[in-house]
Amino acid sequence: MSMDDPTHDEPVQPRETVCSLAKKHSAASASLAFLTFVAVSKTLLTKLVFTHSPTPVAFSILSCVATNLCIAPVLIYQGNFRMLTKKELPGFALVCLAMAIDLGCTNVALAILSVALQQCIKATSPAATVLVESLLRGKTYHKLIYATVISICVGPILVVAGGSSKKWNAKSANGSQLFGMIMMLSAVVGGAFKYVLAHKAIKEYRESMGVLAFTFWVEIFIALMLLPWAILNGEAAVFLAEHRTLGEATLLWFTAAYGGVRIISQFLFLAHTSATSLAMSNLATQALTIIIGMVAFGTEATPMLLLGVAVTLVMSAVYAWLKTSSVLQTAAIIAKSNAPRSAARKTTQLEVAGLNRAEDSAAAV
């Protein structure tokens, strides 16, 4: 074949392929890296703050205030700020109540538990969501989904079993280890109810108000809802009376305002990628948070704890794969295509049985 033949395909150089792929997916890769970094660092910085100031509920309120201080100038500049209507108020308040419980319980648990255990319990969110949807909506899932979410729940049990009895009997300024686990489980269950019952409402409010305006009002409502909790448990008084160095105060406010950065990073990430990449980001965030948290805060890496972490991460990866791949959809299509023939055979069997019963009745008469 001549070199001038237009049908001749030039061999693609490996370097050109790599460069083209890198250029094509550069935005998604950058967003993935940024979101993972922000999510991991936000959790670890919050844990660090709690080692100096064990007031998680009061800190949650400060985080709402600091986030709005960052968002307000942008809203004013863009001219997208708007008030809530009376019609929106009741439903919006219920959505914010679910978010407030989730945030408050999560931070209390993070202040008490090791990062590894807190993250492993948090990973059971799919199990809670599946349970709530099955109970409230009668929704059924593939058997592999049920098996996977049950397996995810084994991870935290192994992590708890991997701790010494002395450790689990220890108490902190925020309560016992048992109380911390109850708080994290409450956050997981509350998050499941929020997703099942309020997911549609949250999406509608966000679309009608805009991301920043929605976030601004959510932060105000959450702060007001958490304030009585912080006053009643004494955290508000302790938080205001604490003497902090310049470094501690800087860390406190920086971490509190970091929540706004995380919100922006999430929407920036979703604009450039798919649900599969989001699942990958969540897994990377979970793994890095656990590993870095164990090293940074001196968590004893017992064999049982490492096994529990491994089970949680592996089964979370399996769950993400099942939810984002087409393997279960393909199985459902095959089952659906076979359904009419099965139904026809079943109908024929019923008709035969009915004729037999009719003949028996006639004979008896």
Q: Are strands 175-176 and 171-172 parallel, antiparallel or unpaired?
A: antiparallel
Q: Which residue has the tokens 């659906």?
A: 336
pTM reported for the whole predicted model? 0.77
Q: What is the pLDDT of residue 173?
A: 67
45 vs 95: CA distance, rounded Å:
27
Q: Which residues contact 256 (CB under 8 A, 6 or more apart)?
A: 59, 62, 63, 65, 66, 67
In SS3 terms, the chain reads as CCCCCCCCCCCCCHHHHHHHHHHHCHHHHHHHHHHHHHHHHHHHHHHHHHHHCCCHHHHHHHHHHHHHHHHHHHHHHHCCCCCCCCCCHHHHHHHHHHHHHHHHHHHHHHHHCCHHHHHHHHCCHHHHHHHHHHHHHCCCCCHHHHHHHHHHHHHHHHHHHCCCHHHHHCEECCEEHHHHHHHHHHHHHHHHHHHHHHHHHHHHHHHHHCHHHHHHHHHHHHHHHHHHHHHHCCHHHHHHHCCCCHHHHHHHHHHHHHHHHHHHHHHHHHCCCCHHHHHHHHHHHHHHHHHHHHHHCCCCCCHHHHHHHHHHHHHHHHHHHHHHCCHHHHHHHHHHHHHHHHHHHHHHHHHHHHHHHHHHHHHHC
Q: What is the pLDDT of residue 324?
A: 77
The 10s digit of each residue's pLDDT in 279-293 is 677 788 889 999 999
Angle at 44 between CA 283 and CA 324, to 5 degrees: 15
Sign of the C-alpha dihedral, residues 202, 80, 217, 281? positive
119 vs 138: CA distance, rounded Å:
29
Q: Please answer whether residues 99 and 288 qualify as being in contact, where contact means their C-beta atoms are separated by less than 8 angstroms.
A: no
Q: Which residue has the tokens 């037999």?
A: 356
Q: In which residue ranges of the chain is pLDDT below 70?
A: 1-28, 163-173, 262-279, 327-365
Q: What is the pLDDT of residue 32?
A: 75
43 vs 289: CA distance, rounded Å:
7
212 vs 224: CA distance, rounded Å:
19
225 vs 83: CA distance, rounded Å:
19
Question: What is the identity of the amino acid at 339?
Answer: A
